[in-house]
Amino acid sequence: MLEACARHASYSRAADELGVSPAAVSQRMRDLQAELGVSLFERHGPRVAPTEQGLRLAGRVRDALAILSAGIDECSDSRVIRISAAPTFAARWLAPRLADFRKAHDPVRIVVDAAIDVRPQGSFDVAIRSGRGRWRGCASTRLFAVEGTPLYNPHLYDPGILSSPAGLLTCELVHSDEWDAWFTLAGIPVPAQGPHYSNARYPTQDLAGAAALEGAGVALLSPRLFADAITLGRLIRPFDITLNGPESYWLLTAEGEARPHVTAFCDWLMETIG
């Protein structure tokens, strides 16, 4: 993140390149400056300018990334596919299906890195990220929208309580920044004091889903990624109202990627998703 912020002189442009929110970039830079005890950026209106220390450190990071990328390319095994995937996608969609790809491509070895942040170019062959679809130096293909619909443990609430979406205002909700948008989509005015949220916050849908499975509250989750839990009755989907986007999951590869084992995986992924 530091290198991108220094190169663009903008947290927003760095966020677009990395596929994360500007708030996440700003928070990470504040944490880094506090950790180092030096000022790395100075703000000038909407723009940020790297300080002398910031420029020096960003240059070192840039050099280190180039060395790392070159080293990975030199040691790369043509039978290995390095996949960097968003944690929820990796756990809920990719891992249960990788055996099917392996059966058809036995010599190929798969290495999965479940990460929230986008890894540096050269450290992965294929990435699946959530965002708006702009990643510098990568070819991107949209897979499907990031979704959210209320799901809960069947032992948590009597179905009568959730006979209508307004019933959610009486329930404990697993925190998500998208609840207000879902209530708006459902046509439910949110009271001034807001819904009742649980005390815990989770950085991924996978963790929020794990909490919901244990009865920690109603979570806003993807019905596609939690389809097995819904089918098995471990999670109840009381309404068909699903929030779609604005972000989506995207398939990323290096521009011009043509290695047969990588393109075979991408073709399999797109065909399986449909």
Asked whether the whole model's pTM tops 0.75, one would answer no
Residues of the chain with CATH 3.40.190.290: 78-274
Which class in CATH covers the domain with range 2-74? mainly alpha
Q: Which of 92, 73, 83, 68 lies closest to 129, judged by CA?
A: 83
Domain with CATH 1.10.10.10 in the chain: 2-74
Q: Could you list the pLDDT tens digit for every one of the 274 residues in the chain?
A: 888 888 888 888 888 777 788 888 888 888 888 888 988 888 877 778 888 888 889 888 888 877 776 666 556 555 788 999 999 999 999 999 998 888 887 777 888 998 877 777 778 899 999 888 777 778 899 999 999 999 999 998 887 888 899 999 989 999 998 999 999 999 999 888 878 898 888 988 999 999 999 999 999 999 999 999 999 999 999 999 999 988 899 999 988 888 888 999 999 999 999 8
Class in CATH terms, 78-274: alpha beta
